[in-house]
Amino acid sequence: MSRVLPPMLRRLLAVLHPERSWMLGGAALAVLAALAAIGLMAVSGWFIAAMAVAGASAAAINYYTPAAAIRLCAILRSGGRYGERLVTHEATLRSLSRLRVWLFRRLIPLAPARLAALRSGELFARLRADVDALEHFYLAVLVPGAVALASVATAIVLCLIVLPAAGLAVLIGALLAGVLVPAWLQRRAAPDAATAVREGGALRGLLLDALRGHPELLAWGRVSAHGARIEQLARQLDARRARLEVLEATGGALVGLCAQLTLLAVLGIALGAAHRHTLSPPLLVMLALLALALFEVIGPLSEALARWSATLTSCARVFTLADTPAPFVEPEVSASVPLRPAVVFEDVSLRYDEAAPWALTQVNLTLAPGARVALVGASGAGKSSLVAALLKLYPLQHGRILFGGRPLESLHGDELRRHIAVIAQHSVLFNQSLLENLLLAAPQATAAQIERAVSLAQLDGFVASLPDGYDTQLGEAGALVSGGEARRIAIARALLQDAPVLVLDEPTEGLDAVTARDLYTALDAAANGRTLLLITHRLSGLARLVDEVVVMEAGAVQARKPVAQYLAEVGG
């Protein structure tokens, strides 16, 4: 069965393989419930007609069996539907969890070097939609597909037994309504649909701009001009979507029309057969009602088909991403790192991809254990790239980096990063409690260690002000805390890591002078004995935290001098 599926879908099913019994069970129950509903109508039709014939001819009839069958169908239908919903939901929730965790684990070694999606909002939104499509594959595509296939097959087998020609009519009708009409409509709608998605995104962007950028628009006198742009695009998009809606409605109504045409064909064939006495009259009614009921399950097929091709595209994208080779082959056994490691950059050159400009060009830099160095330079001079290279997040095009005397290739990335605590410009907080966020890097930290890190990061007042203290939830992407608080939480988190090397990327940006001074004092105490690398624009207070300054320019180290000399030169 799985052989007829496209390879990408087979990959998806392979990931979901452990949940196959739930998935199959759910599909089986769905088929059972659908067949029971069709059976109910078909048997009822036959029963009524047979009773009428018996009544007219005053013949004896066994009405117990069909009456019992009717009741059985009714019970199977309602019970089966309940079971179906429970089992398919169980299967969906299980496969959803499996898929997400699988994908997450696959993407870990790829971030950030091979995950352009993390840097671009649009790519990230697409990844999100792709995962969504895969998650709905089972309920929206697989189950309706299985139900339609099984029902049509059963109906045709029944027809073949009773009246083969009617079977042919049903087959043609089902193919027409379930496959050909949807495929034709989809093709007709495709260009408009693609444009509508694009325009929808653009309109959403314009609306968000109008709300978020209102002050700017007002200051520039562009409010009504922007409003006119929205109006124009909205009108265009609305017209397009109205066309698409009519097309979709036509598709739905065409399925109904196919059902009626099939019914007419079956009627014609069956009436002739009944007339020639090759078909018992009650079976005529049964066939007619069977044909009508069958199209109830064919209706949802058109949406399943539409999703089918979308799922294939999503599948291809997600698996191509997941199959990207990791930028590093990590060593089986990681070399050991000395207690106080030195950091050495030798001729390091780095660029993020082939087309990108060089981010680092032949950087040579040595940081002795316990060295305290500030990295300064214009934005884009390569300061953050230097840190990314040190963290073994991007492969070098040239040169090497030694950490504690070991080349980075001999160190497992996770082991290396355990020794480097980073407070990045964009440290992300997660939708967990404050405590869980703090413990991310150091799950075994004791209460005393946490208290210390929190107080070093000037966070104790904030924690005391929280209603639930450490158990306060920080909200999606840390949305419930301010920027300054988020920064200090990230600092406390990094301090808890207790690593010999501390990297600070603009720790005081956006803080006022007094807070910044206090933070530097605290960092000075916290960095005691550790190697410290400070990336900053702010020159004030520099001398209290570092001994030397490394000036970077256009991806290269331009100068290295004692902090006092540097400050005197730039006149800060």
Partner 1 sequence: MSFTGATEASPASRVEPTAGQWLRREARGIRGPLVRTGVLSALLALALVGQAWVLSGILAMGVLAHAGFTALGGLGLALLLLAVLRFALAVAARRSAFQGAQQLAQRLRARILQGTQALGPYGLRAEASGDLITRLVDGVEAILGYFARYLPQASAAVLVPALLLAFVFPADWLSGLILLVTAPLIPLFMVLVGRAAAQASERRYAQLTRLGAAFIDALGGLVTLRQLGAAERFAAHLEAQSEEYRVLSMQVLRVAFLSALVLEFFAMISIAVVAVLVGFRLLWGEMHLRAGLFVLLLAPEFYLPLRALGGLRHARMDALAAARQLAALDALAPGGAAPQPVGAPVNLTAAPKICLEAVTYQHRGRAAGLRECSLVIPAGRVTALVGATGCGKSTLLNLILGFARPGQGRVLIDGQDLATMDAAQWRECIAWVPQHTHVFEGTVRENLLLAEERADARALERAALESGLGAVLARLPQGWDTPLGERGLGLSGGQLQRLAIARALLRARARVWLLDEPTAHLDAEGARSLERMIRAAAPSRTVLLAVHRLSTARSADWVIVLREGWIVEQGAPDELERGEGYYARLLQAEHA
Window 409 to 468, contacts with partner 1 (CB under 8 A)? 413-414, 417-418, 420, 422, 424-428, 430-431, 440-441, 443
Q: Which conformational region is residue 32 in: left (phi greater than 0), alpha (psi within -120 to 50 degrees), or beta?
A: alpha
- Select from 10, 25, 28, 112 the one that contacts partner 1 (CB under 8 A): 112
Q: Does 228 bind partner 1 (CB under 8 A)?
A: no
List the 372-376 sheet strands across, edge first: 420-423, 501-505, 531-535, 372-376, 548-553, 556-562
Q: List CB contacts of 368: < 8 A, sequence separation 6 or more.
A: 342, 531
Report yes or no: 169 and 152 within 8 Å, Cβ to Cβ.
no
Q: Does 270 bind partner 1 (CB under 8 A)?
A: yes
Is the backbone peptide bond immediately before 357 cis, with ω within 30 degrees of 0?
Answer: no
Residue among 63 and 309 whose Cβ is closer to partner 1: 63
- Select from 62, 379, 444, 528 the one that contacts partner 1 (CB under 8 A): 379
Residue among 97 and 309 whose Cβ is closer to partner 1: 97
- Residue 399 CA to its chain's centroid (Å): 36
Q: Does 324 bind partner 1 (CB under 8 A)?
A: no
Site string for partner 1, 327-356 (x = CB under 8 A): ----------------------------xx
Pair of tokens at residue 423: 């407070």
Footprint on residues 353-372 left by partner 1 (CB under 8 A): 355-357
- Shortest gap between Cβ of 454 and partner 1 (angstroms)? 17
Residue among 113 and 142 whose Cβ is closer to partner 1: 113
What values do phi and psi take at 140, rounded to 5? -95, -20
Q: List CB contacts of 25: < 8 A, sequence separation 6 or more.
A: 87, 91
Report yes or no: 117 and 322 within 8 Å, Cβ to Cβ.
no
Residue among 105 and 400 whose Cβ is closer to partner 1: 105
Pair of tokens at residue 42: 């078909």
Q: Does 219 bind partner 1 (CB under 8 A)?
A: yes
- Select from 160, 172, 234, 326 the one that contacts partner 1 (CB under 8 A): 234
Amino acid of residue 129: A
Pair of tokens at residue 223: 């409010």
Q: Does 487 bind partner 1 (CB under 8 A)?
A: no
Footprint on residues 11-70 left by partner 1 (CB under 8 A): 37, 40-41, 44-45, 47-56, 61, 63, 66-67, 70
- Shortest gap between Cβ of 48 and partner 1 (angstroms)? 5
Residue among 5 and 89 whose Cβ is closer to partner 1: 89
- Residue 187 CA to its chain's centroid (Å): 27
- Select from 6, 14, 18, 108 the one that contacts partner 1 (CB under 8 A): 108
E strand or H helix that includes residue 402: strand 398-403
- Select from 24, 195, 213, 324 the one that contacts partner 1 (CB under 8 A): 213
- Following DSSP, what letter does each residue of 357-392 receive, concatenated? PPSEEEEEEEE-TT-EEEEE-STTSSHHHHHHHHTT
Report yes or no: 320 and 313 within 8 Å, Cβ to Cβ.
no
Closest by alpha carbon to 466, among 453, 480, 476? Answer: 480
- Shortest gap between Cβ of 259 and partner 1 (angstroms)? 8
Residue among 201 and 469 whose Cβ is closer to partner 1: 201
Footprint on residues 495-534 left by partner 1 (CB under 8 A): 497, 509-510, 512-514, 516-517
